[in-house]
Amino acid sequence: MALQFCSFASGSSGNSYLVKDDHTAVLVDAGISGKRILQGLEETDTPREMVSALLITHEHIDHVKSIPVLTKRIPDLRVYANRATWENIQRPVPEQAQRVFRTGEDFQVGQMTIRSFPVPHDAAEPVGFSIYSQGRQISICTDVGCITDEIYEEILDADLLLLEANHEREMLLMGRYPYPLKQRILGDEGHLSNVSAGETLGRIVSARDKKRQVLLGHLSHENNDPHVAMLAVRNTLQEQEIYIGGDLQVQVARRDERSPLYVVE
């Protein structure tokens, strides 16, 4: 079985993802109900005992909500976060389930290699993750205010990339959010806009000619829409004479429903 990916939910109201290979499954974030995550495991034919690890990107509640439920319901689950994130997670987690990694250092879960990389966001020590298995790479890069050179190098070769497209700038500016919150979202430690996501995709596609699947994730409920996000990214790519289709497939990971199970071959 090839490396596989499924988004259980991706958005400002909660996030959780599944990555699995022949032997092991890992979850990335647990920001939706435990019931939905366990249902997602059933719907993707993933036995609970196959799930070895829960990787945490940062401590915000839309990423950690259901850690206590999952550590009770999944046998031998281990929860991985860096030290600063553990110090700020306000959820009870059994000590024996806690694992600490250093940002930037690889570690193994089963036959998967996990690499965390720093991202600019207003949290203690936020990270993205790349997961490697069988010569393939899945990268998860959300809750990121801007794309640093380090992020760019990390996601450049991803076979499947989950990339934040949080907001449409004009919708945010004209919306009901208070001014300080708008400035936070627009800042370099906030969230990536649709256009910024499109510019990032254009840059990596131009630099590396390869087959890749891209999912636009962490869309805001208030300041974005799946159709708006796709249109903005498509238009931004077309300005660079890059067209979706063929070796570049782009879809939206929705906040309120499970994605298909993507196979990375």
In order of start, what are the domains of the chain with their CATH numbers?
3-264 (3.60.15.10)
The C-alpha atoms of residue 41 and residue 50 are separated, in whole angstroms, by 10
pLDDT tens readout for residues 24-56: 999 999 999 999 999 999 999 999 999 999 999
Kindly tell me if the per-residue pLDDT of 1 is higher than 70: no
pLDDT of residue 21: 93
Kindly tell me if the per-residue pLDDT of 162 is higher than 80: yes
Helix axes 194-207, 226-238, angle to 10 degrees: 40
Report the predicted TM-score, pTM, of the whole model to 2 decimal places. 0.96
The residues near 138 (Cβ < 8 Å, ≥ 6 apart) are 3, 5, 19, 130, 131, 158, 159, 160, 161, 162, 264
Confidence of residue 75 (pLDDT cuts 50, 70, 90): confident
Both tokens assigned to 122: 């207003």
pLDDT tens readout for residues 170-191: 999 999 999 999 999 999 999 9
Note whether 123 and 155 are within 8 A (CB): no
Length of the chain: 265
Q: b/e per residue, 63-102, with b = 16+ CB within 10 A?
A: bbbbbbbbbebbeebbbbbbeebbeebeeebeeebebebe
pLDDT tens readout for residues 96-120: 999 999 999 999 999 999 999 999 9
Evaluated on CA atoms 142, 216, 14, 17, the torsion sign reads negative
**Closest of 149, 157, 148, 110 to residue 130, by C-alpha:** 157
